[in-house]
């Protein structure tokens, strides 16, 4: 009975794969039609097709992993020979601070050398025109882009390449605690860390301080799709949250989580054929664990970063299955 069920499931899965291939070809047309003045109904239809494609990809990947693990009888044949780098999807890593992003970026540096990797400089983080020029100058050899950039830059619109978006999220309170102790540890070289030490700021003081936007829903700010540098501390909105959720669902191929990093890195490495080992960078041994943080402080941080809390919970429920093997 189980083998019959497995056969029917795999048959249905093959149909899903065929549908995903068709949807993929439709998705490749979206750049052509997503231009000012395009028919709005066509835009809506293509967005819906893109959504269905990603959903089909998610379902197919999870079913394939489950059946491969149980019976080792079904594998996708995705072997293709690429004659040049520009035929490959361009990896775009959105590096949110204190999420294990430095460790992941380290893997990119190990696997993409000789001009294959571009780290976005700080002066281009809010300058799409300058970034576009830099990317297209390097596009022939470029395979990956990284940096503390936001989705607002929309690199997929700046280059004539399919883009593969990747990011890593972290539980918001844990992220802010890690950031606080990290900045204190580099006070000699970091102005924010210096201010924390000179003013003898506690974790709560830092969470409530308004001089640094990295304490105000930073994951939301980097994923919402608009330039939030001009949005003042405490001014994030529900609309920004919904945009960030939609962007994760519709544009990101890989969404990892700091507490699953040991599983996430091998999973992504397998997809791209990377030769890499996990290496944890910027680890601060002197920081407190969440269990050592005052519950009232945790509650306050959650309230101040309520949008990040909701975004993280949404992402966990929607994407953590992608790395279950």
pLDDT > 90? residue 32: no
- For residue 171, the model assigns a pLDDT of 97
If one compares 307 and 126, the residue with the highest pLDDT of the two is 307
- The most distant pair of C-alpha atoms in the chain lies apart, rounded to whole Å, by 70
- For residue 215, the model assigns a pLDDT of 93
Strand pairing class (252-257; 144-147): unpaired
Report the percentage of the chain scoring pLDDT > 70.
69
Task: State the Cα–Cα distance between residues 104 and 97, nearest whole angstrom.
Answer: 12
> Own/partner pairs for 20-28, CB < 8 Å, 24+ apart?
20/53, 20/56, 20/57, 20/60, 23/49, 23/50, 23/52, 23/53, 23/56, 24/53, 26/53, 27/53, 28/162
If one compares 130 and 29, the residue with the highest pLDDT of the two is 130
If one compares 234 and 72, the residue with the highest pLDDT of the two is 234
pLDDT > 60? residue 299: yes
- For residue 275, the model assigns a pLDDT of 85
Instruction: Report the run of H or E that residue 92 belongs to, with start and end.
Output: strand 90-94
Give SS3 for 298. helix
pLDDT tens, 58-75? 544 554 454 334 333 223
**Least reliable range by pLDDT among 82-96, 255-269, 299-313:** 82-96
- For residue 15, the model assigns a pLDDT of 54
Region at 273 (left for phi over 0; alpha for psi -120 to 50; beta for the rest): left
- For residue 30, the model assigns a pLDDT of 45
Mean pLDDT, range 204-215, rounded to an integer: 90
Domain positions in the chain are 2-71, 86-168, 170-255+280-323
- For residue 77, the model assigns a pLDDT of 36
pLDDT tens, 271-292? 898 987 756 555 565 667 777 8
Both tokens of 316, joined, read 């966990």
Residue pair 261/100 in contact (Cβ under 8 Å)? The answer is: yes
pLDDT > 80? residue 137: yes
Name residues whose C-beta falls within 8 Å of residue 75's C-beta, 6 or more positions apart in sequence. 64, 68
pLDDT, mean over the chain: 80
DSSP 31-85: HHH-STT--HHHHHHHHHHHHHHHHHHHHHHHHHHHHHHHH-----------SSG
CATH number for the domain formed by residue range(s) 86-168? 3.40.50
- For residue 88, the model assigns a pLDDT of 86
Q: Exposed, middle or buried by CB within 10 Å (0-12, 13-18, 19+), for 127?
A: middle
Q: Between vectors from CA 125 to CA 215 and to CA 302, what angle results, nearest 5°?
A: 15
The half-sphere exposure of 293 on its side-chain side, counting CA atoms within 13 A, is: 24
**Calculated CA dihedral for residues 176, 178, 181, 187, nearest 10 degrees:** -80
Count the neighbouring beta carbons within 10 Å of the beta carbon of residue 261. Answer: 20
pLDDT > 90? residue 26: no
Residue pair 257/168 in contact (Cβ under 8 Å)? The answer is: yes
Report the percentage of the chain scoring pLDDT > 90.
58
Mean pLDDT, range 164-175, rounded to an integer: 97
**Which pLDDT band holds residue 230 (cuts at 50, 70, 90)?**
confident
């Amino acid at each position: 009975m189980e083998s019959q069920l497995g056969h029917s499931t795999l048959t249905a899965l093959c149909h899903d794969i065929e549908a995903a291939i068709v949807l993929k070809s439709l998705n490749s047309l979206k750049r052509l039609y997503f231009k000012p003045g395009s028919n709005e109904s066509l835009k809506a239809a293509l967005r819906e097709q893109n959504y269905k494609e990603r959903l089909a990809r998610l379902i197919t990947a999870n079913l394939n992993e489950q059946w491969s693990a149980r019976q080792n009888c079904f594998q996708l044949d995705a072997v293709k020979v690429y004659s040049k780098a520009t035929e490959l999807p361009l990896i775009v890593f959105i590096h949110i601070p204190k999420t294990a992003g430095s460790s992941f970026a380290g893997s990119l540096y190990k696997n993409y050398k000789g001009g294959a990797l571009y780290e976005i400089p700080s002066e281009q983080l809010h300058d799409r025109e300058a970034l576009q020029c830099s990317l297209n100058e390097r596009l022939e050899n470029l395979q990956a882009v990284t940096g503390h950039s936001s989705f607002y830059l929309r690199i997929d619109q700046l280059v004539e390449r399919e883009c593969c978006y990747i990011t890593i999220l972290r539980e918001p309170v844990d992220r802010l605690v890690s950031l606080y102790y990290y900045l204190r540890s580099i006070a000699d070289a970091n102005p924010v860390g210096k201010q924390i030490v000179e003013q003898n700021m506690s974790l709560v003081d830092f969470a409530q301080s308004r001089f640094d936007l990295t304490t105000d829903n930073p994951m939301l700010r980097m994923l919402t799709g608009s330039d939030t540098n001009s949005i003042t501390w405490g001014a994030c909105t529900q609309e920004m949250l919904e945009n960030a959720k939609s962007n994760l669902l519709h544009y990101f191929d890989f969404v990892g989580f700091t507490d699953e990093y040991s599983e996430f890195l091998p999973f992504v490495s397998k997809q791209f054929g990377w030769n890499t080992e996990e290496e944890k960078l910027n680890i601060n041994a002197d920081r407190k664990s969440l269990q050592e943080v005052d519950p009232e402080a945790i509650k306050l941080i959650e309230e101040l970063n309520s949008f990040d809390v909701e975004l993280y919970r949404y992402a966990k429920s929607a994407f953590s299955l992608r790395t279950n093997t």
